[in-house]
Structure formats: structure tokens, C-alpha cells
Homo-oligomer: A and B are copies of this chain.
Amino acid sequence: MNNEPAHEPVCEQVREPVRVKLTVAYDGTAYHGWQFQPQVPTVEGELKRAITELFEEEVVIIGASRTDTGVHALCNVSVFDITTPIPIPKIANALNQRLPEDIRILSSEAVAADFHPRRAKSLKTYQYHILNADFPMPTKRLYQYFTYQYLDVEKMQEAADYLLGEHDFASFCTASPKSRGAALKTTVRTIYEIKVSANKMNEGAEIIITVTGNGFLYNMVRIIAGTLIEVGAGRFSPERVAKILAAKERRQAGPTAPAKGLTLVKYEYLPENESNTNS
């Protein structure tokens, strides 16, 4: 037997706008990064289009990590405000039907109206993937940086340990481009964990640099990766990383490693920011 009323109740509820938090996974290969730019495909641009199609309304999207061209994400975060009768958790599916296959919304949830994905305290984890073998692997070519030059993983870890804790990471930051607006207030950041691991393969190894911090400067993880590769290849000593940090000069560090090896793998908001409207 169907217990639902035959007709919807006639009194219409007055709806308030809701801040919707999206968790977004994407393959960055086809996009000019996260941030909207006219004329070129961007992840935010695709998201904007899908949201406009679904709600027939233009919205402002605030993204957490503004990843570069070719960088991937398993869990980037973004918010927008909407007044809608659609149950908020169902928005993920509705948007996925309007998005290309290389972008997937993993969840949609209501959060406090003042929740800001970049200002709220958080822990971000990035991984940088390196294939250290004789030849690149075709099925991973868009997700790994390849080098046939032998890398010493233990030396890379030794070097990485100098980066642990709170430091001024000015040496690990590309001068902020105009598009990023005003100069940075501070280049001090904290790295809570940085691990260099290796999955041995038939010939060679897949080396993964995993780094967790409270925030990252522009290109910081890629410059860290580029510097650790110099150490692994024997061109820099592990101790040199301490000097690079102290110098606070970009040109002291190694090159910026290619974007495709980088993936944002975790984005955790800290409890003091627990701003889910359910709480």
C-alpha cells in the first residue's frame, strides 16, 4: 500500500539559499587548469556550465585548490550558493550527467553559509608520481613524470626530511603571476608529513612523493619534486635542501617538475571549521 499523500501539500515552503560543497575529481590532461578562463576549457568552466544547465541560473563558484594545466585531483573542493528544491546530496549525480567523463562530482553537501574552501583551516595532501625505469609506461604517461636516470630514494627521503615543519618556503615558490593578484602576505607554510616511497617493478620503480601541509605556495609541490629529483640523481646533496630553504630564493631550488605527475589526493577540513549545517 502507498502511504504517500495523493497530492503534494499546497503550502509552498519559503526556501533559503544553501551553500553547496562539491568534492570534485578530475583528469587535468584536457584542461587549462582549474580556474575559469574564457575561450579555453577549464575544470571550473565545465562546472559552471553544468551548474547553469541544471539550475538555469549563473552562480559564483569558489574553488579550494586552483590546480594548474595538466594537474589532476581526486578530491578538490568548491562551493556555490543556490536556492533549489533538489535535495542537496542528489546534486552530485545531476551534475555528473552534465559533465564530461574526465570530471566527476564525488559528493554534494550543504555547509554553513560562511564556509570558504580556501580560508577554512585544512590539510591538503598531494602526490607526485615518478616512473624511474628504462622506458615510460604508455598507460600511465599522463599521470607520471618519467626519467630513466637512476634515482636514490633514500637520499630523496633524507632531503625531504629537511622540509618537515614550519618554514619560509620562498625558495619553493614561483613568483606569483599577475593573474594571482596581489603579492603574498607570507611564504611561511607548515609541512606535516613528506614521504618518498618506491614500488619496485620488473625493471625500475614507481617513486611517489606524498606531502601533507596546511597550504602550498604556487608550484611549491612541483618545485619540491624537482629538487628531490636533483637529489635522487646525485646532482644535489640531501643537505643542500637546508641551504635552499635558508636562501629564500627561487633560483636556488631545482626545476619545477612537470605538471602531469602531480595529483591532489586529499583535502581535509579541520574540526574547528566543522561547518556542516547538520552539526
The oligomer's copy count stands at 2
Report Cα–Cα, A136/B99, bound state, in Å. Answer: 13
When the two chains form their complex, are residues B141 and A27 in contact, meaning their CB atoms are under 8 A apart? yes
The residue on B at minimum CB distance from A25 is: B138
User: Which residues of A in the span 133-176 have a Cβ within 8 Å of any Cβ on B?
Assistant: 134-139, 141, 143
Contact between chains at B96 and A138 (CB < 8 Å)? no
Q: How far is the CA of A103 from the CA of B136 in the complex (A)?
A: 9
Q: Are A135 and B263 in contact (CB under 8 A)?
A: no
User: Which residue in B74, B106, B139, B143 is a CB contact (below 8 Å) of A72?
Assistant: B139
Q: How far is the CB of A213 from the nearest CB of chain B, in Å?
A: 20
- With both beta carbons as reference points, the residue of chain B lying nearest to A143 in the complex is identified as B139
Residues of A within 8 A of B (CB): 25-27, 72, 74, 92, 96, 101-106, 134-139, 141, 143, 263
**Which 9 interchain pairs have the tightest Cβ spacing?**
A27-B138, A102-B138, A27-B139, A104-B135, A26-B138, A25-B138, A72-B139, A106-B135, A104-B138
